[in-house]
Structure 1
Amino acid sequence: MDPMHLSAADLDQATIPQLARRMADGGLTAAGLTRAYLRRVVELDPRLRAVVAVDPTAESQAEESDRRRALGQSRGLMDGIPVLLKDNIDTRGLATTAGSRALSVPPEADAEVVTRLRAAGAVVLGKTNMTEWGNFRSPWASSGWSAVGGQTANPHVLDRTPCGSSSGSAVAVAASLAQVAVGTETNGSIVSPAGHAGIVGFKPTPGRVSNAGIVPITALRDTAGPMARHVVDAAILMAAMEGTDPSFTPGTLRGARIGVWRRTGFDPDVDRVVASTVELLRDRGATTVDVELPYQDAIQAVDRPAMVAEFRHDLERYLRTRTGAPRTMRELVEFNEADPVELSRFGQELLHDAEKARPLTDPVYRHQRLTATGLARRSLDETLAAHRLDLVMAPTNGPAWLARGADPSGPRTALPAAVAGYPNVSIPAGFAGPLPIGVSFLGGRGADEAVLRFAAAFEDAARARRTPAYLPGVA
């Protein structure tokens, strides 16, 4: 790996441990690595629209990392590693808009997760585009579109959706615009774009990473999480976000009992990828059991109105921390109505619903939230226990659709882990033509490390990730 010229293949294939060893040996500098990624942003992002802001201090951050290393004061594996942050994560002096032109004044302080990343020595490269307000403005929203960043493109086929809402983070990682990126998830917003971009996306148990300084949908289960080309990098980034030891050991497929939630009938390519994944798991010594997770319709029926109430409460509390921003849902609605861009693609029906939402002290709301969370936990707990399972595997996504209009129906497998507050990881598993299809591994309560270890073992066995081809379309 020539420190003066890091090729696209070098960046695509290198892991954080490999880069850290090269920096320790003097064969690579953090400044050289950072400049290589910045060149990629300049070269590719005009087609992708994944990055909404580049940190002007990125090179100086990297040079400071090199100085620490020269003095024998490296802060660990993440020191000097370029990271992109989703644009709903407060970053001092940089845009933090959640995709909305209403949040035009940068925040004055870092989110706690950014503070932890800086403490680990990570180089904050910039901010990534996202589906506006975390895809919680309209049921007709176009995934990956925001009034701030426009439409993010899927790097495998440029006229296809990247899904969302962590669209830019997923695309930037797939296209090697940074080594890793941070996304956030409330219901699928890490794992779904990871599946569509053909990368790793890990949604941890909420609470492991602080939500302080992150634009919310619902603070009860919003969580930041790592997005990476390699599971080991996701695990290392996750540790830095938590402020814990980054030690990581891959697991094994042999002897595992895996429930298979097939979700058949959405797409024949999804069915084919799931079938091949089951065959691979069995060939590597795992036992698979077909399962159906119960209560899904009942969970969704009460979870959505509860989320609307939480959105109003939590977003208005956050808005009061931002200079120059609307303070209430009504003020935000009025801002959008007066803005020439905000309502140009779709409406703000969910904001109108939130204006009328019940307060969080209302007994109807409290019943909705308790019911949704309880049923989601039962759905996974009962299934895991009944079949003595370690994890549940399900398809993450179908083939990406054209990047316009609302999301069509798909496997919708993120819901139970998201509402339950349980861990979920998406891993590349196959393709529909040039379009990636991922599979998700859902764990039980507190199974974060087990999920990541298993994901690493599956990644090693499947080796399904491909470098994006940047095709203009599919015939």
Structure 2
Amino acid sequence: MAVMSSSSFRRCFLLLLLLDASRAFELQEATIDSIQRAFAAGNLTSRELVESYLDRIRSLNALLLAVIEVNPAALQEADAADRERLSGRGGFLHGVPVLLKDNIATHGGDGLNTTAGSFALLGSSAPRVDAGVVRRLRRAGAVVLGKANMAEWANFRSFVAPSSWSARGGQARNPYVLSASPCGSSSGSAISAAANLAAVTLGTETDGSIICPSHLNSVVGIKPTVGLTSRAGVIPISPRQDSIGPLCRTVADAVRVLDVIVGFDKDDAAATRAASKYIPAGGYRQFLKVDGLVGKRIGILRRFFNFSSDSSYKNAVFESHFDTMRQKGAILIDNLEVANSSIILDVNQSGEAVALLAEFKLALNSYLSDLSSSPVKSLADVIEFNNQHSAEERLDEFGQPIFLAAENTSGIGATERSAIARMSQLSKQGLEKLMAEKRLDAVVAATSNAATIFAIGGYPAISVPAGYGGDGIPFGLCFGGLRGSEPKLIEMAYGFEQATLVRKPPSFRE
């Protein structure tokens, strides 16, 4: 019998490794790590990856309405990434396709619109090359795949329009149960991540718009501390509450995106400078610890574990999760209450409604007036556009009462300052006081029920898949903490995810 030489053995071994790597890569549930391994092995290119996602979008988007438009320059961007890789350039997001929520601007050269789902902004051009977070993504080598559908104007036009509908994109659909709400306003981003239409996605949150769609679409959503990510070039609601964050299939992927998009931006200088002190040396990936729950003091906000359906089943699931967290070393403090929760959750009593209306008008008028070209230059112009295009914007059905109320404001006066001060006091006497008294690292709530508590204080939160109801609709567990607590939240969210491994691909059932 012939004996194989050592050089021949090495060649065969390397060939087997390459073949194994080729078999191991699948688009379904692909992670940033698996994509980069396939790139490194030479059996996947950015062009092939983008083509695969574009094919999947063509196949599924008519059903889901998750993507509002694809980037006509995506393949050219992918080709450029492939050339850069040959010259030695790399990194976690290099060559990885990213879908952006349709309120996050990109430069006009790629042919993409930025409309917040409204026909009023179709054809407008942003003055800057890209939104601040997009500049960071491109510097990291990411490929902009397109724009994700969203609740029109981030669900800040109408009280009755579905939170996942826009005039341009239509009614987005939950990929797990098509008849169920996918929530909003970052609905398209969450659906796209869940249904494997993109490697990773970006969304925005003012009050629940990342956390809610994340939990209902079984993806991981990170709503960062306000100011940790730049809001420059993003269609605003409130500079005091707006935050941009990733929605991905895994905590690790979301954290890798977070690492890229955080940091100072001269175009959002005050907020990003103030929050930059929270960014840890060495970034956030170091907190992806399997034992991240060990020693963490976590408060259970029991009032946020009340369910309108499947209550006994969901309660049992969460109790099992709490047991798992204890087994992994967490110290759970049960039956906690944030002071004045009922007032905080009532936007009229807390002052949030009063503040947001005035902030929205000021911020939107500033954004629109800064555009290089636009059919509308002010909130008043948008209102009139809707009046003139009532059929396309479904004005008779949904109206625009929030717009009208915002237009009726006249800046930040005594009433608005009082409302903002009230929210600050509610936050200090609420979550901040509770966490200090109980020496907590985080609090947990089911689904997105506590989103407003995190929103008005500018606090971070991470939603992680927690289960699926008897109807098949996903639900999540939300970890929240004080400003700058992302390292601890990441440790806990990752530890929980790795201990439970709840997420599964969608079934697209009716």
Tell me the TM-score normalised to structure 1 length: 0.92
Which has the larger displacement, 277-286 or 333-342? 277-286
Provide the secondary structure at the position in 1 that maps to 2:490: helix
Deviations 1:57-96 (A, max 9, x none): 111111111111111122x110000000000011123110
CA contact (8 A) 1:358 1:365 kept: no
Partner of 1:431: 468
Q: Partners in 1 of 2:209 and 2:417 — Cα distance?
A: 24
Candidates 368, 372, 376, aligned match of 1:319:
368
Report sequence identity in percent: 41
Q: 1:435 to 1:14 in 2, by over 3 A?
A: same
Picking from 93, 96, 101, the partner of 2:114 is 96
**Could you say which residue in structure 1 is the equivalent of 2:333?**
289
Matched, 1:55 2:92: no
Note the C-alpha offset of 1:359.
Answer: 1.4
Matches within 5 A, 1:381-400: 381-397=432-448
Find the partner of 2:497 among 459, 462, 472.
459
What is the CA-CA distance between 1:45 and the residue it aligns to? 0.8
**Equivalent position to 1:350, from 385, 402, 415:** 402
- 3-state secondary structure, aligned to 2:478: strand
Q: Could you tell me how far apart the structure 2 residues matched to 1:334 and 1:128 are?
A: 26
What is aligned with 1:409?
Answer: none
Q: Given the alignment of the two structures, is residue 333 of structure 1 paired with residue 383 of structure 2, yes or no?
A: yes
Gapped regions of structure 1 (runs ≥ 5) = 398-411
Report the Cα distance in structure 1 between the residues aligned to 2:241 and 2:458, rounded to whole angstroms: 6
CA shift, 1:279, in A, is: 2.0
- Aligned-pair distance for 1:357? 1.9
Name the SS for the 2:398 alignment partner: coil
Separation (CA, whole Å) in 2 of partners of 1:34 and 1:112 = 23
Structure 2: gaps of 5 or more residues: 1-16, 264-281
State the alpha-carbon separation in 2 of the partners of residues 470 and 8 from structure 1: 25
Distance 1:159 1:344, change over 3 A: farther
Measured in 2, the distance between the counterparts of 1:14 and 1:177 equals 11
- The residue type equivalent to 2:481 in the other structure is G
Q: 1:132/1:9 Cα in 2 relative to 1: closer, same or farther (>3 Å)?
A: farther
Partner of 1:194: 214
Map 1:74-223; keep pairs closer than 5 Å.
Answer: 74=90, 76-93=91-108, 94-108=112-126, 109-223=129-243
Retained in 2: the 8 A contact 1:88–1:215? yes
Deviation at 1:107, TM superposition (A): 2.1
Alignment-mate amino acid for residue 353 of structure 1: A
1:369, 1:246 → 2: CA distance? 31
3-state SS of paired residue (2:69): strand
| Cα separation, 1, equivalents of 2:58 and 2:415 | 51
User: For residues 341 and 420 of structure 1, what CA distance do their matches in structure 2 show?
Assistant: 37
* TM superposition shift of 1:193: 0.2
- Out of 380-389 and 175-184, give the one that drifted further: 380-389
Residue 195 of structure 2 contacts residue 506 of structure 2 at CA under 8 Å; is this kept in 1? yes
Query: Which residue pairs with 1:256 in the alignment?
Result: 296
Aligned-pair CA distance for 1:9: 8.6
2:324 equivalent in structure 1: 280
* Residue 210 (structure 1) shift: 0.8
Cα RMSD (Å): 2.0
Matched residues in 2 for 1:6 and 1:355: separation?
A: 57
Matched, 1:359 2:408: no
Per-residue deviation at 1:304? 1.4
Between the aligned partners of 1:286 and 1:388, the Cα distance in structure 2 is 13
2:301 touches 2:445 (CA, 8 Å); kept in 1? Answer: yes
1:8–1:72: structure 2 CA closer, same or farther, 3 Å change rule? closer
Distance 1:463 1:149 in 2: 32
Query: Which residue is 2:49 aligned to?
Result: 33
In structure 1, what is the Cα distance between the partners aligned to 2:450 and 2:163?
A: 17
> Higher helix proportion, which one?
2
Shift of 1:8: 12
Distance 2:106 2:375 in 1: 16
Matched, 1:310 2:310: no
Equivalent position SS for 1:11: coil
Distance in 2, Cα, partners of 1:111 & 1:31: 24
